[in-house]
Structure 1
């Protein structure tokens, strides 16, 4: 009796997935899992656990048996607190009953926003280098990604004139993320205002990912595009708790949007996720009550680490601008004669220091690597020492 022919599942996969790469961040993360000898500057995650008052709130909720579903929209008390927090942080008000949706991280909120508005062939303009999920998320929503390059000479800020050149009759959305992952760039308010004017002029939607907005340095004050005239009615503001509150594993985000857009996003959310975990929502509520009490000490610590890392990188000959926010640096490693990918692989092999190749964030990052400095200070010192030794051994004339 002959054995049945093995089924070829590759031809059963969605054509929409063809060409979508694995996350370059996660590929390198997989390389270091289980290796106790590696100092990782790879994954964008705070080195400290979630502050104790936030964890304690979740523990108390579990002890009370709060393990049920919540409303699809999220706990009403949390939505009220989000409304108050956003009003203070972004100077824009949203109705917690009709304009706020609690999601499973900002990643889900971004996916919902794209799927809620895009039809096949609709174009989305976004800036590169950028977080790895933007292009794939647009593609999986049947949209067309239209990246606009940012440049080191502009401190990786997005120029409105470059955005305008990319606008076509098919453009539906402009997506922004400032401060930016992977560069730490911030957008000058004058450029942000010009982009807002382009959105109004061309009747475009705007999705703005504000996940790093609390982490600004050198006395910087955050400005969101949603604050400009004509933008609240066409903007989906995306935010969450992962970075500023050190709550990455809680997977809790939110979207603030006009009621029609919020309702469209909720329809998708209720079928694919139902609701965010109740214990994460309770923890997030406590995080908002704590506010700057828990954020500010971490922000100050990151600023000190940024200063140290930028200085060390420039001293060893890796050109690195001083980022205004987030917790990443994006040095140019071409002086070593290596691409960003080769630099990352060899640095991991020879010095057990993990960084992410810059091309994981788009082809404009080919000569760079991303280093996350939300790492324990003593480990940052060791990582910079190892990197300096590596750079000296590879330096070309």
Structure 2
């Protein structure tokens, strides 16, 4: 018998951490950990103080509303309406235990076993894992050298079992920001075929574009097609407090409520209180964090020529990520532990973001630079450029 969990692969981040077992990193050459897209610094002092004060409120230790605290839903609706220039009210907001749970809740509400969801490649591995465990087929949508998916190519993959198209922008793992016209084309495609467009905007706060990255919420009846997912973890450093959100039509959220009540009952109260406080008070601080991430993005672009001279290619860059192609003969899954041992750099191989058997990912690595400053990024490029291993033959073969 194959269980639900046995249908999918082991989680990649714990696997990558095991590559550190038994490896020592001297003080003069410490590990540069570029494996996970989660801030390691704590929330800012003012937010920590607000969270400490919240601990004294009796209601902070009780179950809350299944779809989230009313005041947080209202605050996010106001923020969303202002940012996107569209009308969003609290009835179209649900609060979840992180954005991964938001995806799981939405897909449970939309699909049943044997259904299909289109995912562009490289895909976010947790999205693929949830679809596997749900008995839903993840239909891979190949992308070109720019990693931008094409709506016409996606339309060729639509079948009677297709229920949704799931996009992540800014993209994880590719880093690329999908242009507004790309997002509009996918919205129109989904609407044409009666599908849902799931748009995961976990990294929205670090988009290089000033203002809204798309105008989809201005479309009449947008919530008949569009479902947006969001995470408070990155903007406010609340990763351990697990607070995410869904923006969708009330009818879908009524189905999500069944999932939430069964799985979690409600998102954590302290996390919700912190998220609301952040929305109402930390706008300037988040803007500063965005500028810091953009400076790290610029540092990757500045120092990448050292790697380009050695045959590396920069495929995508944005938000928390760079996505690169390596020049070596061995596959990325084999090289990743070697890079830890020989260069003191922890990266995720592209094979973690592609279907099993697709050799494309074996040429690639994801670089999560959210916790590496500009100096660390420069050091990373120097260490990788110093690797002297057999090169792949022209065309990618050994």
2:94 aligns to what? 101
User: What are the equivalent positions in structure 2 for 1:181-196 lying under 5 Å apart?
Assistant: 181-196=172-187
Q: Secondary structure at the match of 1:304?
A: helix
Unmatched segments (≥5 aa) in structure 2: 26-30, 394-398
**Post-superposition shift, 1:307?**
1.7
**Corresponding residue number in structure 1 for 2:328:** 336
Residue of 365, 371, 390 corresponding to 1:369: 365
Aligned mates of 1:163, 1:242 — CA distance in 2: 30
1:84/1:36 Cα in 2 relative to 1: closer, same or farther (>3 Å)?
farther
- Alpha-carbon RMSD across the aligned residues, in angstroms, is 2.2
The Cα of 1:86 is off from its aligned counterpart by 1.1
CA shift in 2, pair 1:221/1:264, >3 Å: closer
The counterpart of 1:82, out of the listed 58, 61, 76, is 76
Q: Which moved more, 1:49-58 or 1:204-213?
A: 49-58
Deviation at 1:228, TM superposition (A): 3.8
User: Matches of 1:115 and 1:331 in 2, distance apart?
Assistant: 33
> Any idea what the Cα deviations from partners look like across 1:133-183, whole Å, max 9, x if unmatched?
11221222232211101122xx21111111111111221111111110011
Q: Residue in 2 aligned with 1:213?
A: 204
Change beyond 3 A, Cα 1:88–1:291: farther
Return the alpha-carbon distance in structure 2 between the equivalents of residues 199 and 226 of structure 1: 15
1:200 maps to what in 2?
191
What is the distance in 1 between the residues matched to 2:227 and 2:241? Answer: 22
Give the deviation of 1:112 after TM superposition. 0.6
2:245 maps to what in 1? 254
Number of aligned positions between the proteins: 379
Mean CA deviation greater in 335-344 or 78-87 = 335-344
Q: Distance in 2 between matches of 1:292 and 1:360?
A: 35
Instruction: From 366, 380, 385, give the equivalent of 1:383.
Output: 380
Aligned to 1:145: 138
Distance 1:224 1:56, change over 3 A: farther
Distance change >3 Å, CA 175–CA 226, structure 1 → 2: farther
Choose which of 261, 268, 284 in structure 2 pairs with 1:270.
261
1:1-397 superposed matches below 5 A: 11=1, 14=3, 16-32=4-20, 37=25, 38-65=31-58, 66-96=60-90, 98-152=91-145, 155-217=146-208, 221-223=212-214, 225-317=216-308, 318-321=312-315, 323=317, 325-333=318-326, 335-362=327-354, 363=358, 364-377=360-373, 378-390=375-387, 392=388, 394=390
Could you report, residue by residue, the CA deviation over 1:171-196 in whole angstroms, capped at 9, with x for unpaired residues? 11111111100111111222222222
SS at match of 2:266: coil
Contact 1:175-1:207 within 8 A present in 2 as well = yes
Q: Distance in 2 between matches of 1:224 and 1:369?
A: 32
Query: Shift of the alpha carbon at 1:95?
Result: 2.8
Q: Secondary structure at the match of 1:376?
A: coil
> Structure 2-normalised TM-score?
0.89
- 1:366 counterpart SS class: helix
Distance in 2 separating the partners of 1:304 and 1:214: 14
The more displaced of 236-245 and 34-43 is: 34-43
| Aligned partner of residue 63 in structure 1, secondary structure | coil
Q: Deviations over 1:299-352 (max 9, x none)?
A: 1111111122233233222110452x321001100x222322222121111122
- Whether contact under 8 Å (1:104, 1:252) holds in the other structure is yes
- Deviation, structure 1 residue 296: 1.4
User: Could you tell me how far 1:245 is from its partner in structure 2?
Assistant: 2.3
